[in-house]
Amino acid sequence: MRDTEQAPQQAQNPTSFDIHLSGARVAFGGVDIFDDLDLTLRAGSFTCLLGPSGVGKSTLLRFLAGLVEGDVSGNITCSDGGILKNRIAYMAQQDLLLPWRTVRENVELGAVLRGERPDHARAEHLIAEVGLTDAAHLRPAKLSGGMKQRAALARTLMEDRPVVLMDEPFSALDPVNRLRLQELAARVLRGKTVLLVTHDPLEALRLGDHVHVLSGAPATLADAITPDGQSPRNITDPAILAQQAELLRQLGADISTGYGAEAVS
């Protein structure tokens, strides 16, 4: 776990409480997606959730966000005694930018939806931070995929919530843009408690302080792998590559003959 004292100056509001999820159960159509699941998100740490498609990663994240309805049970507690609801910001795989609003108006959406006066100066600052100052007046249709996700990241940061839940936010991007966005996210989210869902082991190792694999049906969580050093990590580091091999093994890939030679199930 990264110590908050070590966090550089970007962490203006480091998160000070742990989140404990216990006995979580979600079922769709009578089938358990997961049952009796426990997970702890340490204050100010970046946790990645890895797993095959359809295993329930997004469902777990949406459960924490309070977005899953129906056959649901479990406890979410915060170590400071507060409730998690209203303390999270959510970023999805799709940018979810409103096509009729400009980048600036999209970034300020949260305040508008709550009936508050948007902090324009802060919005400008965050738009500059994600490198979109020249595009702030444009509507999403005029932006590239990478620019849209940058705008979505700025909107997420604008909420200034202690906990950020991200559901495969970079998976639709090309590799170069993905690396750039990962770097940006690692920098601007420092000090916040982050849960990132991804299907890319290297992305998880590059960004995560703790990497969990979710697998099986009903899904269970494996013990976390904790890569060394500060994110964003160098993905050519042999230690990271060794941990990637371990994650691939946990995901069910046969890597005995050199991973990639056998089909990743």
Partner 1 sequence: MSLQNNPHTHRKPLTERRWLMLARPLIIVVALIATWQALVLITGAPKYMLPTPTDVCATLIARHDVLLDHAQYTIAETVIGLFAGAALGTLAAIPMALFSPVRFWLMPILLVSQAIPFFALAPLLVLWLGFGLASKIAMAALIIFFPVTVAFFDGLARTETGWLDLARTMGASRWRLLTHIRLPAALPAFASGFRVATAVAPIGAVIGEWVGSSHGLGYLMLHANARVQIDMVFACLLILCAFSITQYFIVDRVLRAALPWQPDSLKPVR
Using CB under 8 A as the criterion, which residues of the chain lie in contact with partner 1 when the complex forms?
Answer: 62, 65-67, 86, 88-90, 92, 94, 96, 98-100, 109-110, 112-115, 131, 135, 138-139, 141-144, 146-147, 159, 165
Shortest Å distance, C-beta 73 to partner 1: 20
**How many angstroms separate the CA atoms of 232 and 206, rounded?**
5
Report the amino acid identity of residue 258: G
Specify which residues 198 forms β-bridges with. Answer: 50
Verify cis geometry, omega within 30 degrees of 0, for the bond prior to 118. no
Shortest Å distance, C-beta 171 to partner 1: 14
- How many residues can be counted in the chain? 265
Shortest Å distance, C-beta 39 to partner 1: 19
87 versus 249: smaller Cβ distance to partner 1: 87
31 versus 67: smaller Cβ distance to partner 1: 67
In 3D space, the residue among 107, 2, 96 whose CA is nearest the CA of residue 47 turns out to be 2
Token pair listed for 137 = 């007046």
**How many angstroms separate the CA atoms of 172 and 175, rounded?**
9
168 versus 209: smaller Cβ distance to partner 1: 168
Shortest Å distance, C-beta 141 to partner 1: 6
155 versus 190: smaller Cβ distance to partner 1: 155
28 versus 100: smaller Cβ distance to partner 1: 100
Beta-strand relationship, 193-198 and 46-50? parallel
Shortest Å distance, C-beta 24 to partner 1: 18
23 versus 145: smaller Cβ distance to partner 1: 145
H-helix segments, 160-259: 175-188, 201-207, 238-250
Shortest Å distance, C-beta 148 to partner 1: 10
**How many angstroms separate the CA atoms of 149 and 140, rounded?**
10
**How many angstroms separate the CA atoms of 76 and 64, rounded?**
7
Report the amino acid identity of residue 265: S
